[in-house]
A and B are shown apart, each in its own frame.
Chain A
Amino acid sequence: MIDVRNVTVRFGDAVAVADVSLHVRPGESFGLVGESGSGKSTILRTAVGLTSDWSGEITIDGYDAKSTPTRELAQRVQMVFQDPYASLHPRFTVGRAIAEPMRIQKMAGIEERVDELLRLIGLDASFRSRYPHELSGGQRQRVAIARALALQPKVLLLDEPTSALDVSVQAEILNLLEDLRAELDLTFLIVSHNLAVISHMCDRLMVMQDSRAVEVLTREQLRAREFSSPYTRKLLEAA
């Protein structure tokens, strides 16, 4: 479903992602963990067309990330950004922010769908008219998740989706994501620094360090502490 082959991403002379490959099966939930600054967000951003200087190949649901028009790609893959403040337009109300992708795609029944999505993420209808700066950090993150779900994409790229949420809301959102994955047959690529979240959500995971892939593990291997790299060991032992 998501195929990343030998991808290298550069910013000027700096290499942010060095020859990384990963393959996520349809319906699978795949985790990306590792050092801060190791290139996790950059891989996700590249997959949705937000970086320019890269080589290698990425296909999502058979669509080539480089050549498919953004609007068409957006119907299949949506991303929840690490920094919800930056991803929500400051002058759009919550209602408009969630409706916007549907308006661009000229969908029908947008208003009802917005209400439904707000209910799904646990915010009541009074939030429709609020602006991002009138929300708490966790509320903004939930709006970003609703917005990503609006177009019913097949693939969700989630960058630290719950790190701004308290553990009770986190549990609700993780349960919601799991239900949606089962119901709608979604495929997830999840970045999180929280190994407990990854172990709960993901069938397999890749560990990254210094722009490279260190190893790929199954959930069972993670739980049995069967790692080959000392970095993974360090990461897990501290947790």
Chain B
Amino acid sequence: MSAAPLVSIENLRIAFERDAGPVEAVRGVSFEFGRERLGIVGESGSGKSLTARALMGVLPGHARLSVDRMEFDGIDLTRVSTRTRRKLRGERMGMILQDPKFSLNPVLRVGTQIVESIRIGDPRVSRRAARLKALETLEAVQIRNPERVFKQYPHEVSGGMGQRVMIAMMVVRQPALLIADEPTSALDVTVQDQVMSILDEAVGERGMGLMLISHDLRLVSRFCDRVIIMYAGRVLETLPAGKLAEAQHPYTRGLIACMPSVDGPPGRLPVLRRDPEWLTS
């Protein structure tokens, strides 16, 4: 890794106003990462998506954010104008949202959106060339009939197709940082592997930084360099992804134990007993 990290976040806090007063959903998250593959796993509602949205600058308006430091490639994100942030989002940072169909424009054809995305990444590309490139990319993410999907509207594609369209759209833009929030949760392993290898290529060849948020422990441990485990708005532990199976924290160990397997025993799955101490320790 080079000297300055691509992303550096220190003491990130995000709160929401509730009847009973403000409630912190993210409670002091700090991490750094470079041109690598960083996995983020953790409890549903632990603040993974909010952390990602804070970094992208797309938190909901009523969220209250405080952070000691938040930098992207040497740029202090807490000080730049909204305009610069928007420009950064268009050009150098990309995010694949957890709800793919929600983030696609419902009234524009899938192909049109990918073509636009290519031309945002590189305005010199002609429409024709962008169209070809879009079709190629759809094929690369294993879409069976790229010509047809190119012409479809978002509500006309299946769940897994929507996810792949989002990935195609973000990868063609060639961002320096890509945040992918559950990008393959609807894909079976065979397609998942192929799609992930496209992201891998972008990391390896272009030095993109990838933040992969996923519930899929197998995917994260196979695919990432490091993994952050989150619980109740905080980072519990950080591990080399290959060492996930050797995790020490009882939460992480409990997670691994909860996974069903094809050849697992019948009956109830083990569940996690959540220790109140995890909230503070």
Residue in B closest to A179 when the chains form the complex, CB atoms: B268
Which stretch of B67-75, B120-128, B152-160 is in the interface?
A: B152-160
Q: Are A235 and B189 in contact (CB under 8 A)?
A: yes
**Chain B residues touching A, range:** 35 or more
Q: Are A223 and B268 in contact (CB under 8 A)?
A: no
Q: Are B260 and A174 in contact (CB under 8 A)?
A: yes
Residues of B within 8 A of A26 (CB): none
Q: Are B189 and A238 in contact (CB under 8 A)?
A: yes
**Chain A residues touching B, range:** 35 or more
Check B172 for interface membership: any CB of A closer than 8 A. no
Check B18 for interface membership: any CB of A closer than 8 A. yes
Residues of A within 8 A of B186 (CB): 36, 82, 160, 163, 193
Residues of A within 8 A of B143 (CB): 37
Shortest distance between the CB of A122 and any CB in chain B (Å): 9
- Between A14, A172, A196, A210, the greatest number of chain B beta carbons within 10 A of the residue's beta carbon is seen for A196
Check A48 for interface membership: any CB of B closer than 8 A. no
Residue in B closest to A129 when the chains form the complex, CB atoms: B19
Which stretch of A72-80, A131-139, A146-154 is in the interface?
A: A131-139
Check B270 for interface membership: any CB of A closer than 8 A. yes
Check B178 for interface membership: any CB of A closer than 8 A. no
Per-residue CB contact flags for chain B residues 91-115 toward chain A (1 = under 8 Å, else 0) read 0000000110110000000000000
Out of A36, A85, A170, A195, which one reaches B158, CB within 8 Å? A36
Q: Are A235 and B188 in contact (CB under 8 A)?
A: yes
Residues of A within 8 A of B245 (CB): none
Shortest distance between the CB of B83 and any CB in chain A (Å): 25
With contacts A166-B43, A168-B255 taken as known, whether A85 is within 8 angstroms of B161 at the C-beta atoms is no
Q: Are B99 and A37 in contact (CB under 8 A)?
A: no
Shortest distance between the CB of A43 and any CB in chain B (Å): 12
Q: Are B190 and A168 in contact (CB under 8 A)?
A: no
Q: Are A197 and B260 in contact (CB under 8 A)?
A: yes
Q: Are B263 and A171 in contact (CB under 8 A)?
A: no
Check B41 for interface membership: any CB of A closer than 8 A. yes
Q: Are B159 and A36 in contact (CB under 8 A)?
A: yes
Q: Are A171 and B270 in contact (CB under 8 A)?
A: yes
Q: Are A137 and B159 in contact (CB under 8 A)?
A: no
Per-residue CB contact flags for chain A residues 108-132 toward chain B (1 = under 8 Å, else 0) read 0000000000000000001001000
Residue in A closest to B144 when the chains form the complex, CB atoms: A37
Shortest distance between the CB of B242 and any CB in chain A (Å): 19
Out of B144, B258, B262, which one reaches A168, CB within 8 Å? B258
Residues of A within 8 A of B157 (CB): 37
Check B137 for interface membership: any CB of A closer than 8 A. no
Q: Are A83 and B101 in contact (CB under 8 A)?
A: yes
Q: Which B residues from 174 to 207 make CB contacts under 8 A with A?
A: 182, 185-191, 193
Q: A36-B186, A166-B42 are in contact. List 4 more A-B contacts (CB 8 A).
A: A168-B271, A175-B269, A223-B263, A238-B193
* Interface residues of A, Cβ cutoff 8 Å to B: 11, 14, 33-37, 41, 82-83, 85-86, 126, 129, 133-139, 159-160, 163-172, 174-175, 178, 193, 195-197, 199-200, 210, 222-223, 234-236, 238-239
* Interface residues of B, Cβ cutoff 8 Å to A: 16, 18-19, 41-45, 49, 60, 98-99, 101-102, 143-144, 148, 156-161, 164, 182, 185-191, 193, 215, 217, 254-256, 258-264, 266, 268-272
A and B contact pairs by CB, cutoff 8 A, 29 listed? A34-B188, A35-B144, A35-B188, A36-B160, A37-B160, A82-B159, A83-B99, A135-B45, A138-B215, A139-B44, A160-B186, A163-B215, A165-B215, A166-B41, A167-B259, A168-B43, A170-B258, A171-B269, A175-B269, A175-B271, A193-B160, A195-B188, A196-B261, A196-B262, A197-B260, A199-B263, A200-B260, A238-B189, A239-B262
A-B complex: 10 closest residue pairs judged by Cβ atoms: A138-B44, A36-B160, A171-B269, A238-B189, A200-B260, A171-B258, A168-B272, A193-B188, A82-B159, A136-B45
